A and B are shown apart, each in its own frame.
Chain A
Amino acid sequence: AQSVTQLGSHVSVSEGALVLLRCNYSSSVPPYLFWYVQYPNQGLQLLLKYTSAATLVKGINGFEAEFKKSETSFHLTKPSAHMSDAAEYFCAVRAPYSSASKIIFGSGTRLSIRP
């Protein structure tokens, strides 16, 4: 079985500062991991995904995440926050080769950017 925990329901950073959104997973098999972004009143958009290749994954909009098996983590980072990064971010996990119906979403982290 898989589960995912996002630490911090709300994160606030200054424009230009480092963004760090935390995600820890639990999985009985090597997982596939995802980060999605949701802007207000819109659907989710895939930022990046880990599917057992390189452990450092680069995504859209300057975001990246590192898969750390020893820490069961998949934290999302961006070196310099921009006002347009304000949104809700979801970490998700599923077992490899399983249906997308088996994907488990975290509860989300709302990112605010201070001018």
Chain B
Amino acid sequence: DGGITQSPKYLFRKEGQNVTLSCEQNLNHDAMYWYRQDPGQGLRLIYYSQIVNDFQKGDIAEGYSVSREKKESFPLTVTSAQKNPTAFYLCASSIVRTGELFFGEGSRLTVL
């Protein structure tokens, strides 16, 4: 089945540590996205990539980094510079032409 796989589903981190969240898609979509979700808020865009080896900052990119070396993969690193990293992180992909988003099941990061 085609879809988006995020791992790990749950992750605990100590303050000051970097952590990388994985996102892999087999939908052959060109574009991929990372969103952050906090309770009672909508989704906020962190980074997105419309083509391999290129990515753009979203609304809340500070303290995060990404790479897009392969079409299928778009990992997100939450760095120690992110002041409040505890959140639910969602990866999505889309066909550029239609713009319809397909989401993974999310990764919940908790900083201890």
Give the size category of B's interface with A.
20 to 34
Task: Check if A99 sits within 8 Å of B106, measured CB to CB.
Answer: no
Asked whether, in the complex, the Cβ of A105 is within 8 Å of the Cβ of B40, the reply is: no
Complex CA distance for A101 and B106, rounded to whole angstroms: 18
Interface positions of A from 85 to 115, Cβ below 8 Å from B: 90, 92, 94, 98-101, 103-108
Name A99's contact: one of B31, B42, B108 (CB within 8 Å): B31
B63 at the interface (CB under 8 A from A): no
Interface size on A, residues (CB 8 A): 22
> Chain A CB within 10 Å — which of B43, B56, B58, B100 has the most?
B43
Interface residue A9 (Cβ < 8 Å from any Cβ of B): yes
Q: Which chain B positions have C-beta within 8 A of A9?
A: 40
Q: Which residues of chain B come closer than 8 Å to A106, judged between CB atoms?
A: 42
Residue in contact with B100 in the complex, picked from A41, A43, A100, A107, CB distance below 8 Å: A100
B99 CB within 8 Å of chain A: yes
Q: Which residues of A contact B101 (CB under 8 A)?
A: 44, 46, 100, 103
Q: Cβ of A103: which chain B residues have Cβ within 8 Å of it? A: 99, 101
Please, how many angstroms separate the alpha-carbon atoms of A99 and B100 in the complex? 9
Does chain A have a CB within 8 A of B104?
Answer: yes
Instruction: List residues 45-95 of chain A with CB under 8 A from any CB of chain B.
Output: 45-46, 49, 90, 92, 94
Q: Are A43 and B105 in contact (CB under 8 A)?
A: yes
Separation in Å of the B39 CB from the closest CB of chain A? 9
Smallest CB-CB separation from B88: which chain A residue? A41
How far, in Å, is A47 (CB) from chain B's closest CB?
Answer: 12
CA distance A43 to B48 in the complex (A): 17
Binding site for B on A (CB under 8 A): 9, 32, 41-46, 49, 90, 92, 94, 98-101, 103-108
Residues in B lying within 8 Å of A, measured CB to CB:
4, 6, 9, 31, 33, 40-43, 45, 48, 50, 56, 58, 88, 90, 92, 94, 96, 99-101, 103-106, 108
- 6 closest residue pairs by CB, A with B: A43-B103, A105-B42, A100-B99, A100-B94, A105-B43, A101-B48
